[in-house]
Amino acid sequence: MTAEQIKKGDRYTIEHEPVFSIQLMERAAEACVTWISENCKNHRNFAIFCGNGNNGGDGFAIARMLYQKGFDIDVFTNSKAKFSSDAQINFRELKEISGISIKEFKEVRDYRFDSRTVIIDALFGTGLSRPLEDEFKELVEFLNNTHNIKISIDLPSGLFADAVSPEGAVIFKADYTLSFQLWKKTFFIRRQENMRGK
């Protein structure tokens, strides 16, 4: 599906079911957490990278839910960014939890990745509007060079939902992608198939 069709689908669900977008985000996060807690039983520690849009909002909600299930959680974000309203709600909720450490993206360079730390990419999803550059390009390149298991939420960051990424564009190298609703058009573009993992 294209990003526009996905947005229309979300709008249809919101208009025809008594559901608010924040509830859709909560549902999406719950589904991710169910998969993660079943499939990452041997991992205790998660480093979750959250952008300022709704993909980041999913990441904040996932962080809260995994923490409630007893996992150790570190969240990386740009706390000064202007968040989407649903991301802001989940970010505020996360800040109330004293057991979760919230760090700035640049602190990743001093972070001690345990070999069993799982990296979760909730930087960008269907709202990516241009290739990654500067801070985000460097961050994703840094994360791609770690040997940790990597999970992308909805789409690997840097991958457009319905367009081919330019040659050489930096894209998060996910082992697994937990994609919402239907398969996205981008997953069928042969050159990009190996970026999404399973």
Ligand X SMILES: NC(=O)C1=CN([C@@H]2O[C@H](COP(=O)(O)OP(=O)(O)OC[C@H]3O[C@@H](n4cnc5c(N)ncnc54)[C@H](OP(=O)(O)O)[C@@H]3O)[C@@H](O)[C@H]2O)[C@@H](O)CC1
Q: Which residues are at the interface with ligand X (CB under 6 A)?
A: 10, 21, 24-25, 28, 51-58, 84, 124-130, 132, 136, 153-155, 180
- Compute the distance between CA of residue 9 and CA of residue 164 in angstroms, rounded to an integer: 22
* Interface pattern 149-168 for K ion (x via CB under 5 A): ---xx---x-----------
Spatial CB neighbours of 32, under 8 Å, sequence gap ≥ 6: 58, 62, 153, 178
Spatial CB neighbours of 153, under 8 Å, sequence gap ≥ 6: 32, 55, 58, 59, 62, 120, 121, 122, 125, 177, 178
Tell me whether residue 175 is annotated as binding: no
25: partner contacted, choices ligand X, K ion, none (Cβ within 5-8 A by kind):
ligand X
CB of 121 to ligand X, least distance (A): 11
58 binds K ion (CB under 5 A): no
CB of 29 to ligand X, least distance (A): 7
CB of 42 to ligand X, least distance (A): 26
Binding residues for K(+): 55, 121, 157
